[in-house]
Structure 1
């Protein structure tokens, strides 16, 4: 029987690999495109996504306190290849976690406490559901993950606290928005995490 950790790990791997499909469509000339992440170009976004994969992989191995693991390297000509490699690295690292209570140190989320594996992987999962959408929007592509992935992501998104910390510099998400009329699960996820489902690159 699948445990909650198994389900979250499987959902995360699916979200990450779908993001790789989208990133594989990035051409060098696309790196300057705007994204739904305020003030970030697509190059900035890919650099962040790649660094987060590496950092979470280190955390899964008990090395999350290593600042070098989280270092953001500016995206260059090898941005797509670097992203794919980091993606497989984090999927493998999560697959090796043998207990939902394995402690993850995540300095980019909180400097003091550690997080149990299931919670940490949920953080990563929801981030890559949304970042996959960010990449698709930046490229003007449809975002159509498996509906089951969005069903798994919705309760995670709704559980993210929507307080003043979302206004802090570097906050992962902006304050929640009211979703459009008759929203589908993706609209609800995006709105809960401060993304406008109607965002388009200008």
Structure 2
């Protein structure tokens, strides 16, 4: 039996997918200043501070999954004077230093392959990096090669239906949209948003 040419395949960790996603997200947070925290983001119910804290928690969960083989269901409580941008940077560097990858990761009462968890994490980190760039006014696109790889893993991690509450319904990208815009549209965001005040 032959494999279908377009069948999705897991993304191996040694492809540097997570590292490139984190690099893009860290570039996106460079433009964030304390006065921007109340800005709206492409994530409809979150302002920029909430989005940064969510990304901090996601990076911490990915670190636990990669280093410990399990993810706690409750995020770590923030420090009283925790700066959201610094918190994202610290967790991102910690994750980049985590070199071990278990075969399976325990998340609550479920188990997930380590490569698949890393692929899901890379998608979340890159897309939230795009969200942060939009909210800060940089409007930076996800790099084409990274977006193209993430598009290939979307069928593995994004259900066709129901998608909510984890993912919004897809929007139609332009016919000649680059990979970054197609990825963003597939995940329910409108490409090329204007900076949000």
Q: Which runs of 5+ in 2 are unaligned?
A: 1-10
Partner secondary structure for residue 105 of structure 2: strand
Match of 1:189 in 2: 183
Match of 1:163 in 2: 161
Q: 1:180 aligns with which of 169, 174, 185?
A: 174
Match of 1:112 in 2: 109
Indicate whether 1:82 and 2:90 are aligned: no
Partner secondary structure for residue 199 of structure 1: coil
- Asked which structure has the greater RCO (Cα within 8 Å, sep 6+), the reply is 2
Match of 2:150 in 1: 153
Match of 1:21 in 2: 27
The whole-number CA distance in structure 1 between the counterparts of 2:168 and 2:131 is 14
The whole-number CA distance in structure 2 between the counterparts of 1:134 and 1:150 is 14
CA contact (8 A) 2:42 2:135 kept: yes
Q: TM-score, normalised by structure 2?
A: 0.83
Match of 1:58 in 2: 64
Match of 1:71 in 2: 76
The whole-number CA distance in structure 2 between the counterparts of 1:26 and 1:55 is 23
The whole-number CA distance in structure 1 between the counterparts of 2:71 and 2:25 is 26
- In structure 2, the CA distance between the partners of 1:180 and 1:11, relative to structure 1 (3 Å rule), is same
Paired residue total: 185
Deviations 1:118-162 (A, max 9, x none): 100000011112111101110111314443212211212344212
Q: 2:53 aligns with which of 23, 26, 47?
A: 47
Q: CA deviation at 1:185?
A: 0.7
The whole-number CA distance in structure 2 between the counterparts of 1:63 and 1:115 is 10
